[in-house]
Amino acid sequence: MGRSAVETLREHGVNPSAQRVAVADYVLQTDEHPSADQVWTRVQQTFPHISRATVYNTLRLFVEKGLLRQYAITEGCVVFDPNVAPHHHIIDEETGAIHDVPWDAVDIGKPPKVRGFEVREYQVVMRGRKKR
């Protein structure tokens, strides 16, 4: 992340409470795509008294402030991604891990058009297995 979590939160208009910094220290630096419960479990290791509600509310705030992206990539599971730049994802079918794929690695031609909608963003979600 380069700069401290406190500086990052302040730059995005977020009051850096101890709980928010604890969440930011994990979720803004991970290359995983954790669910809210995974964030809560991980943050409890260093901040044992943080509540699940605080983590959920903090994640929602971070999404609102542009620090995280929220995706429903797999059925019934919302995950959070600190990579807010345009990119795609691939899901490892063996492990369930979600990996970032650079935007320019996927060539879909021109942006999609959907009748009755103005498309403002899109992403490709792929599924596969690592080559052996």
Residue boundaries of the structural domains of the chain: 5-81, 87-128
Give the per-residue pLDDT at 61.
98
pLDDT reported for residue 121: 83
pLDDT confidence of residue 1: 41
CATH of domain 5-81: 1.10.10.10
pLDDT at 110: 77
Residues of the chain with pLDDT under 50: 1
> Using CA atoms, how far apart are residues 104 and 108, in angstroms rounded to an integer?
10
Considering the entire predicted model, what is its pTM? 0.85
Residue 92: per-residue pLDDT: 93
Instruction: Give me 15's structure tokens.
Output: 């009051």
DSSP type of residue 103: G
Q: What is the pLDDT of residue 109?
A: 76
